[in-house]
Amino acid sequence: MGHFSNKHITYRVIGVMSGTSLDGLDLAACTFTENNGSWGFEINKAQTIDYPGFWRNKLAGAANLSAEDFLKLHNDYGVYIGKAVKAFALEAGFKAALVASHGHTVFHQPERGFTFQVGNGACIAAECGITTVSDFRVSDIALGGQGAPLVPVGDRELFKEYEYCLNLGGFANISFEKNCQRAAFDICPVNFALNHYAQKLGKPFDRNGAAGQTGTINKKLFEQLNKIEFYTTAPPKSLGREWVETIFFKVLEDSDETITNVLRTLYEHIAFQIAKVIGPGGKVLVTGGGAHNQFLIERLMEYCRAEIIIPEITVVDFKEALIFAFLGLLRSQDKINCLSSATGARKDSSGGTVYLV
């Protein structure tokens, strides 16, 4: 061993995430260590705060509010997040230097030049008394990008040992190295669609694919879904609520199929589309709510010719909150946290608005 000194720096950040499926507010208290340009992490404590009915309804209906009510929601929700962060940090005994909040996406229309995540960072910082980074996507969209996906920088730096990082949330998104660049994009709807149909059966979601499993695949519907234009479009590309509601659900509703058969066909469609993206060999890290769905994972293993790895439960459930904590940290250091190779922007950027306290 030589006698050179190791540059070993530690940062404490709280990451906050609210996914499209509205299942709650994810909070992750994270410690990052930097050692000669190489990053390590630990999730010290993590918690999901289930949204009370009031907030679930407010966020679900946000797209239809008047401009004034929308601005009020943006601030009120920021205050709500700030209070949640303060209580969480206190209970965890975690002294954070930074909060990184993704907010809750209400509009995502990069082709029209905008995206909007409610949860005003100024209100978060004012409430919890910690410097806050928010609005991670807007700079990239201003640079002509999709504003998504943003996780690739975190995947590349924190999960080097996997060839693919697959997240099964409201949508499936993936990131991997291709031609010495990080490629990343949304693949297809997952829980956003599965939950929608499970709810028609009176269930909040389809636990372990129990309902879907009882259905039969509708071959014609399966083929129609696979023909949707998005699947033949080359990346960079991303999906939003608007696309699912106007295009994806229309195909399903036009089929007049029973709900269980629609669910069964959806599972097949999701596994098929994901496997199309993943080459043979290599390790696939699978995280997000969909990683808990046994039937979905079984279908995925059936189609995929790579090794599917589901990590410890904290990483499964809080990887996105962890990565936004990391992106906030990079932003506070003016380092690149958004890759044009993934978003299609004119250049890489350091995205996020910093609210000092």
Local confidence pLDDT in tens for the 357 residues of the chain: 444 445 689 999 999 999 777 889 999 999 999 998 899 999 999 999 999 999 999 999 999 999 999 999 999 999 999 999 999 999 999 999 999 999 999 999 999 999 999 999 999 999 999 999 999 999 999 999 999 989 999 999 999 999 999 999 999 999 999 999 999 999 999 999 999 999 999 999 999 999 999 999 999 999 999 999 999 999 989 898 899 999 999 999 999 999 999 999 999 999 999 999 998 999 999 999 999 999 999 999 999 999 999 999 999 999 999 999 999 999 999 999 999 999 999 999 999 999 999
Side-chain half-sphere exposure of 225, counting CA atoms within 13 A? 28
Catalogue the E-assigned strands of 169-225.
171-178, 181-189
Which residues contact residue 325 at a Cβ distance below 8 angstroms, ignoring those fewer than 6 apart? 13, 14, 15, 28, 30, 32, 98, 100
- CA–CA separation, 251 and 48 (whole Å): 33
Q: State the Cα–Cα distance between residues 143 and 292, nearest whole angstrom.
A: 36
Among residues 335, 288, 45, 312, the alpha carbon closest in space to that of 170 is found at 288
Q: 98, 329 in Cβ contact below 8 A?
A: yes
Residue holding tokens 């990080």? 182
Strands across the sheet with 132-134, in order? 38-49, 25-35, 8-18, 98-101, 132-134, 353-355
Say what the pLDDT of residue 233 is. Answer: 95
State the Cα–Cα distance between residues 18 and 318, nearest whole angstrom. Answer: 11
Determine the pLDDT at residue 6. Answer: 56
Specify the pLDDT at position 87. 98
Q: What are phi and psi of 100, to 5 degrees?
A: -120, 115
What local confidence, expressed as pLDDT, does residue 2 receive? 43
pLDDT for res 4: 47
In CATH terms, are 8-148+319-355 and 164-305 the same topology? yes
pTM of the predicted structure, to 2 decimals: 0.90
Strand order in the sheet with 164-168: 181-189, 171-178, 164-168, 283-287, 307-309
Residues 60/63/68/73 CA torsion (nearest 10 deg): 30
Task: Please choose, from the candidates 141, 239, 235, the residue with its C-alpha nearest in 3D space to the C-alpha of residue 179.
Answer: 235
CATH 3.40.30.10 fits 164-305, yes or no: no
Show me where the domains of the chain are located: 8-148+319-355, 164-305
Please count the CA atoms within 13 angstroms of the CA of 137 that sit on its side-chain side.
Answer: 25
Give the Cα separation of 216 and 233 in Å (integer): 29
Kindly provide the b/e burial profile for residues 293-324, where b requires at least 16 CB atoms within 10 angstroms of the residue's own CB. bebbbebbeeebebebeeeeeebbbbbbbbbb
Q: Is there a contact between 327 and 100 (Cβ–Cβ < 8 Å)? A: yes
CATH architecture group of domain 8-148+319-355? 2-Layer Sandwich (3.30)
